[in-house]
Amino acid sequence: MPLVTLRQVLDEAALGGYAVGAFNVNNLEQFQAVVEAARETRAPVILQASRKARPYAGDAFLRHLMLAAVETYPEIPLVMHQDHANAPALCQSAIELGFTSVMMDGSLREDGKTPADFEYNVRVTRQVVEMAHPRGVSVEAELGTIGGIEDGQGAGGDPRAHLTDPDQAVEFVQRTGVDALGVAFGASHGAYKFRHKPGQDVLDIELIGTIHQKLPDTHLVMHGSSSVPRDLVESINRHGGQIRETWGVPLEEIQRGIRYGVRKVNVDTDIRLAFTAAVRKFLAESPEAIDPREYLEAARTAMRQETVTHMRAFGQAGHAGDYAPLPLEEMAARYSRSRRR
């Protein structure tokens, strides 16, 4: 099956009342773990490369890993998405690489840290929609800012300081025409999200419901959705790591978000934790090991298992065979028709 677009995969998810996990990938083992999990659960899946993944892996490697995934797993509807682009030029180059979806994160200025104003966000996002839609490529944006703590991504500080305003979201979607919108509801990127188990005072899941009611045709995206499993943190610390006491977003809160209209759930940190826990354990228990294939195999298995858990929790499992992919030309024609109406 050729790559599919985010728009199609999330339209189908909306019909089925489930969400689709978007997993960050930077190397061979992460690509393999995520698509293997999709095969195991018969799930559609979104692979996403962040701005930093691009130079880390190199564009040619990313492109060919993406093509290898499509060739090896022809039964899986697979979206290749640019995560958190800081400028239209990065979206443009992702489209040239063959990605079927891009996120223009205009909630922040080009430095990826400073909160941007609404007009800047509308302007850069609109520019990306005008470039992507004629080619059939889907566009995600972000409104409100999702802090990031240890990775320097996002505004940092209090994650509740810049929640998405529902009325502003309506104006934003009308003026940009995006397919999907990342909303700030109290979560943040990275391993250190909360000091205590987050409840309704911290995570404003009802806000997601309010935005969904106002924008039923725009697919809502939950960023910062790692649950930071305690067993992985404990395993890392047992084998020489030093992860401080921390909480992520509990899976049941994500499931509540899905009932309130979330269709794309972004997960990076949990896969990093699974990778790190497996490598630390393997090397601690086999100090004589020097063959990277041995510990990377352990890491790949752990990442696959973690991804399977998410795919089952999000409801995407079992939906891989529900639909045939719509070509980019067909998606482009649809956008063109809706622009003329």
The one among 12, 29, 36, 83 contacting ligand 13P by CB under 6 A = 83
Please answer whether residues 150 and 143 qualify as being in contact, where contact means their C-beta atoms are separated by less than 8 angstroms. Answer: no
Triad 309, 314, 319: Cα angle to 5°: 100
- 322 is a catalytic site residue: no
269 binds ligand 13P (CB under 6 A): yes
Considering the rule CB under 6 A, would residue 267 count as an interface residue with ligand 13P?
yes
Choose which of 63, 223, 264, 281 interacts with Zn ion (CB under 5 A). Answer: 223
Residue number with CB closer to ligand 13P (23 or 335) = 23
Answer yes or no: are the C-beta atoms of 304 and 33 closer than 8 Å: yes
Compute the C-alpha angle 220/221/226, nearest 5°: 150
**Bridge pairing between strands 180-183 and 138-143:** parallel
Q: Which is nearer to ligand G3H, 84 or 304 (CB)?
A: 84
| Cβ neighbours of residue 119 closer than 8 Å, sequence gap 6 or more | none
212 vs 287: CA distance, rounded Å: 52
Residues 282-321 vs Zn ion: string with x where CB under 5 A? ----------------------------------------
Which of the ranges 160-168, 215-223, 291-299, 308-316 carries the binding residues for Zn ion, by CB under 5 A? 215-223
In angstroms, how far is the first alpha carbon of the chain from the final one? 31
Separation of CA 175 from chain center: 24
**For ligand 13P, which residue of 142, 253, 268, 306 counts as binding (CB under 6 A)?**
268
Task: Pick the catalytic residue from 83, 105, 179, 204.
Answer: 83
Instruction: CB nearer to ligand 13P: give 122 or 146.
Output: 146
How far apart are the C-alpha atoms of 169 and 212, rounded to whole Å? 10
Q: Cβ of residue 108: shortest distance to Zn ion, in angstroms?
A: 11
Dihedral, CA of residue 205, residue 34, residue 60 and residue 276, to nearest 10: 90
Least distance in angstroms from the C-beta of 118 to ligand G3H? 21
CB of 223 to Zn ion, least distance (A): 3
Rounded to a whole number of angstroms, the minimum distance from the CB of residue 107 to ligand G3H is 12
Q: Which amino acid is at 163?
A: L
- Residue 153 near which of ligand G3H, ligand 13P, Zn ion, none (CB within 5-8 Å, type-dependent): ligand G3H
Strands (E) across the chain are located at 20-24, 45-49, 78-85, 101-104, 138-143, 180-183, 219-222, 262-267
86: left (phi over 0), alpha (psi -120 to 50) or beta: alpha
Nearer to ligand 13P, 254 or 328 (CB): 254
Site residues for Zn ion per CB under 5 A: 223, 266
Catalytically active residues are: 83
Site residues, ligand 13P (CB under 6 A): 24, 83-84, 189-190, 223-226, 266-269
